[in-house]
Amino acid sequence: MKLDSQIPSGPLANKWSKYKQNVTLVNPANKRKFRVIVVGTGLAGSSAAASLSELGYNVDAFCFQDSPRRAHSIAAQGGINAAKNYQNDGDSVQRLFYDTIKGGDFRAREANVYRLAEVSASIIDQCTAQGVPFARDYGGLLSNRSFGGAQVSRTFYARGQTGQQLLIGAYQALSRQIHSGNVRMHARHEMLELVVVDGHARGIVTRNLANGRVEAWAADAVVLATGGYGNVFYLSTNAKGCNVTANVRAWRKGAAFANPCYTQIHPTCIPVSGDYQSKLTLMSESLRNDGRVWVPKKREDLGKNPASVPEADRDYFLERKYPSYGNLCPRDIASRAAKQVCDEGRGIGPAGRGVYLDFADAIARFGKKVIAERYGNLFDMYSTITGEDPYSVPMRIYPAVHYTMGGLWVDYNLMSNLPGLHVVGEANFSDHGANRLGASALMQGLADGYFVLPYTIGQYLATAKQPKLSTEHPEFKKAIADAQARLKRLLSLNGKRTPDSFHRELGLLMWNKCGMARNEWGLKELLKEIPALRERFWKELVIRGDAATMNVDLEKAGRVADFMEFAELMARDALDRDESCGGHFREEHQTEEGEAKRNDAEFLHVSAWEYRGEGEAPLRHKEPLNYEEIKLQTRSYK
Ligand SMILES: Cc1cc2nc3c(=O)[nH]c(=O)nc-3n(C[C@H](O)[C@H](O)[C@H](O)COP(=O)(O)OP(=O)(O)OC[C@H]3O[C@@H](n4cnc5c(N)ncnc54)[C@H](O)[C@@H]3O)c2cc1C
């Protein structure tokens, strides 16, 4: 396997302009001769499909939901970053670039991150032109707030519904193209296989979730925009349908999987409340603009009404430990700090797994009305779920799985090592290193879809010179047969356990041994436990119904089977990366203050894993990270 990042030469700030000047173009009349498959219609996929179609390419777009508008992106709450410097507070492309690299604990590729910061401002213009109702200040200009890991206000937002409003914008752009006939939209279609012909990605196999039909689709290039894999932990803030199937299927066909162990744990989620809970709820990071995080200093104050704990007896531990960033230190750091105080026995709420997020000071300063204007829908959500009123008692929060920085390996073109297979949004590994800063996922997904892929895919299509293929090609027939055999095998199992029960068990194993803290012993245990659980899955599973109709159990079973396979890769990567960085916290490698301790001498690389066949250990390849512009430092937010 060859990993060539294809980074253009020359100074960092000129790379993208130089690339665009020199890129091979497809002339307008030839664009309509190409067909591109886009799997996924979240922010990354919708923006990509709409933009490619607008350019003149034919597009087949797929999602498993009943409408592209229901992609998980709709859940995004707090905002989207852009280096507009509207607040005149010192922001710039360079600063956004630096914050992102530092936030990712120096484990991201410089050139990609610089480009992301560079195009960020265009995203806001594009979305505003589409009518996205970003919050505005009194004078009518777009308003900003701050997110973690930044000392400027660069986050654009639409109350606590930024993802929804952005997705409506992208969906409108997509709908226009569907109406024009250039995009064929296939909702309720789940990709089950990638089709590779002569080393190039040439199509996919899907199952129609409404009637069970398994079909193949051919194209000149395939784009995966299938989101992240946080649901490998079962409990996460992700939508229930988020899965790793498309990525795993592509991995098995030769695409490298990069940094699978990099998981983001978000500090502000509603704590777990019972064994049979199926979902966790995020309380947006934006709340840390005004909310103060604390626990009682003394254990005897734990059961008390928080309002009765005097100021002097409260430990505002983020403000104490990280005075420069305070409550807005990055997620990995804030999550670990919350876990530490809970491990010390100072956590609040049931089982002591919680810390307060308190708005009393902000309400006293600005009034309830202003706080409701800023966060009203989040406060409503909190009170519906917990039965508590966050305007009068502090929220209780605890870290939870939220985002995955790992994904399929891509080069500067956002193309995987499999020619023709492009990967955008959360599904790729490209921009966030070992920890993503808040409000940067929406920025990346839309940068990829609106501004990067439309250039880079042309480079591939113009130069690949692949013959036209139909689904009559034997590789398509074989991929259909493989997908059907797998469905048949799942349905033939005659056990007693549901896909959900296996998923829950896998998630607990992963959370305990490959979650917020990991160590060599636990990971080695996990690498024995996952195959054993997988074996039981393939014996003890039961699925009601058949494959010829809508069958939710069958859908879940396929996804859980892929999570089982992927979990092992994740644990292997976590064991292999014998250092701590960002969200990957190996307990063996920490400073005296409990911060992550990197090992740049041995691990300044992207780990990209090659699939080598059933029962074979995957092979790790390294892409060295060369920092030309940025000086490596110990990350500090003090
Ligand atoms: C609660 C919450 C709040 C968030 N808030 C913010 C925020 O404020 N700011 C921010 O920057 N980020 C935020 N994030 C992160 C951000 O929402 C996601 O990273 C981002 O939306 C992912 O977009 P995407 O387009 O890559 O994938 P998704 O939106 O997850 O879309 C995936 C698409 O792929 C399709 N798909 C998946 N698998 C298959 C398959 N096998 N076959 C067919 N289709 C498939 C799905 O149908 C869907 O259309 C938040 C995340 C959560 C969970």
Structure-block tokens of residue 166: 């952005």
Q: Name which residue sits closest to atom 33 of ligand 1, judged by CA.
A: 40
178 Cα: distance to centroid of ligand 1 (angstroms): 21
427 Cα: distance to centroid of ligand 1 (angstroms): 9
Residue 302 lies in a domain: yes
For 239: left if phi > 0, alpha if psi spans -120 to 50, otherwise beta; the answer is beta
Residue 314 lies in a domain: yes
Q: Name which residue sits closest to atom 53 of ligand 1, judged by CA.
A: 238
139 Cα: distance to centroid of ligand 1 (angstroms): 33
Residue 125 CB burial class (10 angstroms; 0-12, 13-18, ≥19): exposed
Model confidence at 160: pLDDT above 90: no
Q: Name which residue sits closest to atom 6 of ligand 1, judged by CA.
A: 76
**How does pLDDT run across 324-339, given as a tens digit for each residue?**
999 999 999 999 999 9
Atom of ligand 1 nearest to the CA of 64: 47
What are the DSSP E strand ranges found in 348-394?
355-358
Confidence grade of residue 374 (pLDDT, cut at 50, 70, 90): confident
406 Cα: distance to centroid of ligand 1 (angstroms): 14
72 Cα: distance to centroid of ligand 1 (angstroms): 4
3-class DSSP state for residue 551?
A: coil
Confidence grade of residue 273 (pLDDT, cut at 50, 70, 90): confident
**How does pLDDT run across 75-85, given as a tens digit for each residue?**
999 999 999 99
Atom of ligand 1 nearest to the CA of 46: 25
d(CA 438, CA 449): 19
- Pocket around ligand 1 at a 6 A CB cut-off: 39-45, 62-65, 71-73, 75-80, 162-163, 190-191, 225-228, 237-238, 242-243, 245-246, 282, 284, 402-403, 425-427, 439-442, 445
Task: Considering only residues 429 and 373, tell me which one the structure prediction assigns the higher pLDDT.
Answer: 429
pLDDT of residue 636: 87
Q: Name which residue sits closest to atom 30 of ligand 1, judged by CA.
A: 227
Residue 218 lies in a domain: no
Cα→Cα distances 380→283, 362, 385, 391, 446, Å? 11, 17, 9, 10, 28
CATH of the domain at 379: 3.90.700.10
Residue 138 CB burial class (10 angstroms; 0-12, 13-18, ≥19): exposed
Model confidence at 507: pLDDT above 90: yes
Q: Name which residue sits closest to atom 44 of ligand 1, judged by CA.
A: 63
Cα→Cα distances 284→57, 288, 290, 531, Å? 37, 8, 12, 36
Model confidence at 159: pLDDT above 90: no
Confidence grade of residue 351 (pLDDT, cut at 50, 70, 90): confident
Average pLDDT over residues 602-618: 97
Residue 331 lies in a domain: yes
Question: For all residues of the chain together, what is the average pLDDT?
Answer: 96
Residues that are catalytic: 331
Q: Which of 219, 189, 203, 173 is nearest to 49 (CA)?
A: 173
- For residue 101, the surrounding DSSP H or E stretch is helix 93-103
Residue 546 lies in a domain: no
Which residue out of 51, 72, 171 has the highest number of ligand 1 atoms within 8 Å of its CB and is therefore the one to mutate? Answer: 72
Confidence grade of residue 224 (pLDDT, cut at 50, 70, 90): very high
Q: Which domain holds residue 290?
A: 266-402
Average pLDDT over residues 571-589: 98
The number of distinct structural domains making up the chain is 1
pLDDT of residue 68: 96
